[in-house]
Structure 1
Amino acid sequence: MKDVTANTATAKGLTAMSALSSRLEQAANKLAQTDPENLDFDQLIAYTQALAAAQTSEVLRHLAQIQADHTMSVLNSLNAVRAEIEDQGTGTKEAYRKAHDEQASAIVSAIYGSK
Structure 2
Amino acid sequence: MRYLVLLLLTLTVSCQSNEHKLEEGRWVGALSPMNHPKMENPVAYDVSYNESDELEIILIGPSGAPIQTRKPKLNADTLTFSFNEPDKQVYLNCKLIQDKNSFSGKCTDMEGKWAKFTMNPPQ
TM-score (norm 2): 0.25
TM-score (norm 1): 0.26
User: Of Structure 1 and Structure 2, which has the larger fraction of its residues in strand?
Assistant: 2
User: Of Structure 1 and Structure 2, which has the larger fraction of its residues in helix?
Assistant: 1
User: Which structure has the greater CA radius of gyration?
Assistant: 1
